[in-house]
Chain A
Amino acid sequence: MRMSDWETLSDAALVDRLQRGAFSYFIDYANGDNGLVADTSRPESPCSIAVVGFALSSYPIAVESNWIARGEAVQRTLATLRFFMQSAQGEQEDATGYKGFYYHFLDMRSGRRVWQCELSLVDTSLLIAGVLTAAAFFDGDGDEIEIRELADAMYRRIDWRWAQAGQVTLAQGWKPGCGFLHYGWEGYNEATLLYVLALGSPTHPLSDDAFAGWTMTYQWENMLGRDVLYSGPLFTHYFSHAWIDFRGIRDRFMREKNCDYFENSVRAIATHREYGARNPRGFVGYDRNFWGITAGDGPTGEEKPMDFRDRRFFGYMSRGIPFGPDDGTISPWAMLAALPFDAEAALVGTRQLLQRYPQTCSSDRFSSGFNPSLTNDGTAWLSEGCYGLDQGLLVMMIDNAQRGLAWKVMRENAYVRAGLGRAGFSGGWLGA
């Protein structure tokens, strides 16, 4: 996007343009035969099942926005669901999934597991959230009936209880060679959606104590001037909110704290802005309107420090505040994704970004990472291409700030309502 283009646009027009630019990723990087969508725009990128979940959620938004015809969206969705329903499930190393879950990364053509990646619980939940969104939106006859049938079958097939592995809380993943992975998953993060979907299953739900077991690891902290359910990376305050409207509904934890998860994201965004303003590590660019420290691409290596500070760069990393890791890299899309929570912060930050660093947005799509503290011949480091997760989240969050399509259909989804209920949520649109 050139500066002269956007400066004359109204906020609404700017946002629409960036949303459509983000959505076009799914047109450019999807395999029409099987519905798989590339993880990144880089050559030979495999499919990320999470990106497919965002794509499935974005097609209805594109239909409503008249970017694609309903029939095209139906065919894209149907191809995707048929593939996932029919692809190989089993313990073999190159299957597409197992127990109804799917491997994180798949070959774009064959749909088989690549990179010896893990059977991913959270990424399956992002995929299935997209599947359920599509099923709710496509409520017509003909092919749309098949969409609903496939979606229901996919959801019911997932054996969430198996993924509990006899424990109270969920593992992060599983591999055929070693079983469940033992990565720590302590504290609040993006897993709320996963727990809600897993608790709402009519076939293989989690045990009653699972959600309480997870929330046991939460930390409610007063930091940088406000009380917040702490999680360092910004995306953890976004992902579950792409599908679930947390305004006014509360679980036991939030009832105790007289807050809700939506308000918590508002506060988390404020802490990120405050961190940007304080800029404790003295990074170039940081201020109250330059923030967005989250998971994303970044530079690697080490720079000789000028002030004996730690100047390592972390590559693709989940970055967070205030404890780090922070190497001066922000994710340029992250400010605009705050639109449902704090429109002023999102718009002021995005406009300032485009003014100061227009290179962060190319072909109306934001890069995954940008580090103005690291320059080469005067050029700040910029992640090549773009990532599907970032684009999908932007499409959905902008829509949630305006139309709220995903929020609306998920509010009416019986599985989601059941999952929220079993997690202890009540009030607001859920009722008492």
Chain B
Amino acid sequence: MNMVSDTAPVVYSNDADVLEYLRPPQWTNPLPRAEYDLVIVGAGPGGIAAAERAIELGASVALVERHWLGGNSLNVGSVPSKALIYTGSLCSDLRMAAYFFRPVDVDAVADFSAVVSRLQGLRARIAEYHSADRLARAGVDVYFGHARFLEGQRVAVDGTRLAFRKALVVTGARPRQPDIEGLESTGYRTSTDVFDLEAVAERIAVIGGGPLGCELAQAFCRLGSNVTIIQNDPKFLPREERDAAEIMSRSMARDGVQIRLNTTVVGARMNNGAKTLDMLNNDQKSSLDADEILLSVGRVPNVDDLALEKCDVAWRKDHGIVIDEFLCSTNPRIYAAGDVCMSHKFTHVAKFTAIMAVENALLDARHDHRELIVPWCTFSDPEVAHVGTQVWEAKQQGIPLTTYTVPMQDVDRAIIDAQDTGFVKIHVRDGTDQILGATIVASRASEMINEVTVAMKAGIGLRELAGVLHIYPSQAEAMHMAALAYVRAQPG
């Protein structure tokens, strides 16, 4: 549990397989080469993807990791959170199954040790693909230790100095710590250590209504906790449009999550063994008792102990390393990718930008990260996914657009699957069929959004999409229905 700021991901100490893969206890750092073509600092998804690409290009590569290979995503991020969400969804399915099967105990309680056991097993299985041995066999020199840049083209890893031709920083980000009086004393968890809970807490207070806060609030609620989610803003998921956020809110409420929007936590204290949060909603004061407090109020880049200033790499505490369009820092030999420099802090963005940075650094390629079409998803039920331009962004740029909207309640497969909450909205530039962006709220939005992303990348407009066969019945048919609506509205 976090009593103070802690940047180290927690890996379950009893998970020997994972340790063996991600930070082998007997590991000995290799003897360094005289100079590496590329030194990569940070072995999360971005670092590993970068190392694999650099090896493919024939480069000599050193990969430095301070904690565990796989980074947040594997250890305390996407993998464990989605595993928890999956198990929570089973609880929800159980209640639905009770309509068709007898007997089904709809009041069944989650066996949290089994939940955690599965989570660890999944991590071990996935960790194998990212193991230190595997990377070493591929030709990567893997170093465990704390990297600090030195003057010139060198990085110190504890006592070892690595010289580089080019370097790539992919150190990721960590949970933001808000300044709430008393919170250090009561204790709290973040995504870093919430997955080492050993039992379902009876009462959980989630502070923060961004993607991870919403995902975990719903998942823990489904696993049996009494969950209250507290959000400063008037809506959840501030980056999403109003309708998506409102459906998200109602879906959490449907599952039993207590909703506190427009509410600020102004203090925390212990009260008869409970962790009590003092809250303010406009002028209304209230308190909430919880057994666990989960903080999810954003992420800050891991930049402050890399000695980047030694090599003239500019960075800002909140925004991370300053990069140009080609992911190059203010030092032309040092690049950055992923959460440490990108506003979109997602695993897929980290991997993609890391590969772009490697090719820019080693091949003098000119991959411009601003041209990326970035999809993202909140893995709630229903999922909330987006790609491309939001309506308000288009308007700020003076781009007139029309949104083609298909409610999921009109999609046969969604009806069949009892997953008809949500919508597909595809934004199209007026006078054309060019797709500018899309928001999908659906049970399978994370899969469906990829079709729109492909269409945008390939320059496929809605008119052409209307001519693409879609499987019936499928939820992706909603995209086809939007395309057909476009053709009806814009014949010829």
What is A's interface to B at a CB cutoff of 8 Å?
A: 116, 118, 175-178, 181-184, 186-187, 216-225, 227, 230, 232, 256, 278, 280-281, 307-310, 312, 322-325
If over half of A's interface residues share one DSSP class (helix, strand or loop), that class is named, otherwise mixed; here it is loop
Given contacts A175-B282, A324-B250, contact A222 B418 (CB under 8 A): no
Interface size on B, as a range, is 35 or more
Say yes or no for B303: interface residue by CB 8 A criterion. no
Given contacts A222-B402, A322-B407, 19 further A-B contacts (CB under 8 A): A116-B284, A118-B282, A181-B262, A182-B233, A182-B282, A184-B242, A187-B242, A218-B395, A219-B391, A220-B401, A221-B402, A221-B405, A222-B486, A230-B405, A280-B420, A310-B254, A312-B253, A322-B409, A323-B423
Residue contact A222 to B404, C-beta cutoff 8 Å? yes
Given contacts A175-B283, A323-B247, contact A219 B403 (CB under 8 A): yes
Shortest C-beta distance, B100 to chain A (Å), equals 9
Given contacts A175-B283, A308-B96, A323-B243, contact A256 B400 (CB under 8 A): yes
Say yes or no for B396: interface residue by CB 8 A criterion. yes
Say yes or no for B235: interface residue by CB 8 A criterion. yes
In the assembly, what is the distance between CA of A281 and CA of B403, in Å? 24
If over half of B's interface residues share one DSSP class (helix, strand or loop), that class is named, otherwise mixed; here it is mixed
Name the A residues within 8 Å of B392 (CB-CB).
216-217
Name the A residues within 8 Å of B96 (CB-CB).
308
In the assembly, what is the distance between CA of A281 and CA of B420, in Å? 9
Given contacts A216-B396, A308-B418, contact A183 B234 (CB under 8 A): yes
Closest A residue to B420 using CB positions: A280
Shortest C-beta distance, B106 to chain A (Å), equals 11
Name the B residues within 8 Å of A184 (CB-CB).
233-235, 242
Residue contact A181 to B282, C-beta cutoff 8 Å? yes
Closest B residue to A177 using CB positions: B283
Name the B residues within 8 Å of A186 (CB-CB).
235, 241-242
Shortest C-beta distance, A228 to chain B (Å), equals 10
Residue contact A177 to B282, C-beta cutoff 8 Å? yes
Name the A residues within 8 Å of B396 (CB-CB).
216
In the assembly, what is the distance between CA of A278 and CA of B406, in Å? 13
Given contacts A217-B392, A312-B254, A323-B423, contact A182 B262 (CB under 8 A): yes
**What 9 A-B pairs come out closest when comparing CB atoms?**
A177-B283, A184-B234, A280-B409, A223-B405, A178-B283, A221-B403, A322-B407, A186-B242, A221-B405
- Identify which of B262, B409, B485 contacts A281 (C-beta below 8 A): B409
In the assembly, what is the distance between CA of A324 and CA of B422, in Å? 10
A-B contact pairs, 6 of them (CB 8 A): A186-B241, A218-B391, A222-B403, A222-B405, A308-B96, A322-B409
Within 8 A of A (CB), among B235-256: 235, 241-243, 246-247, 250, 253-254
Within 8 A of A (CB), among B395-435: 395-396, 400-407, 409-410, 418, 420-421, 423, 425, 430
Shortest C-beta distance, A70 to chain B (Å), equals 44
Closest A residue to B482 using CB positions: A222
Residue contact A227 to B262, C-beta cutoff 8 Å? no
What is B's interface to A at a CB cutoff of 8 Å?
A: 95-96, 99, 233-235, 241-243, 246-247, 250, 253-254, 262, 280, 282-284, 391-392, 395-396, 400-407, 409-410, 418, 420-421, 423, 425, 430, 485-486, 489
Name the B residues within 8 Å of A224 (CB-CB).
407
Shortest C-beta distance, A233 to chain B (Å), equals 12
In the assembly, what is the distance between CA of A232 and CA of B247, in Å? 13
Closest A residue to B400 using CB positions: A256
Name the A residues within 8 Å of B402 (CB-CB).
220-222, 227
Shortest C-beta distance, B164 to chain A (Å), equals 47
Given contacts A187-B242, A221-B402, contact A178 B407 (CB under 8 A): no
Residue contact A178 to B250, C-beta cutoff 8 Å? no
In the assembly, what is the distance between CA of A116 and CA of B283, in Å? 9
Residue contact B234 to A278, C-beta cutoff 8 Å? no
In the assembly, what is the distance between CA of A280 and CA of B419, in Å? 12
Name the A residues within 8 Å of B235 (CB-CB).
184, 186
Shortest C-beta distance, A94 to chain B (Å), equals 14
Closest A residue to B396 using CB positions: A216
Residue contact A256 to B233, C-beta cutoff 8 Å? no
Name the A residues within 8 Å of B247 (CB-CB).
323-324
**Looking at A216, A223, A225, A310, which has the most chain B CB atoms within 10 Å of its CB?**
A223
In the assembly, what is the distance between CA of A416 and CA of B9, in Å? 61
In the assembly, what is the distance between CA of A278 and CA of B395, in Å? 32
Residue contact A221 to B425, C-beta cutoff 8 Å? yes
Residue contact B254 to A178, C-beta cutoff 8 Å? no
Name the B residues within 8 Å of A324 (CB-CB).
247, 250
In the assembly, what is the distance between CA of A131 and CA of B58, in Å? 79
Residue contact A216 to B395, C-beta cutoff 8 Å? yes
Residue contact A222 to B250, C-beta cutoff 8 Å? no
In the assembly, what is the distance between CA of A16 and CA of B370, in Å? 62
In the assembly, what is the distance between CA of A216 and CA of B425, in Å? 18
In the assembly, what is the distance between CA of A221 and CA of B426, in Å? 9
Shortest C-beta distance, A245 to chain B (Å), equals 26
Closest A residue to B395 using CB positions: A216
Name the B residues within 8 Å of A182 (CB-CB).
233-234, 262, 282
Closest B residue to A186 using CB positions: B242
Shortest C-beta distance, B289 to chain A (Å), equals 24
Closest A residue to B97 using CB positions: A308
Residue contact A280 to B407, C-beta cutoff 8 Å? yes
- Identify which of B282, B400, B410, B489 contacts A227 (C-beta below 8 A): B489
Name the B residues within 8 Å of A219 (CB-CB).
241, 391, 403
Closest B residue to A322 using CB positions: B407
Name the A residues within 8 Å of B233 (CB-CB).
182, 184
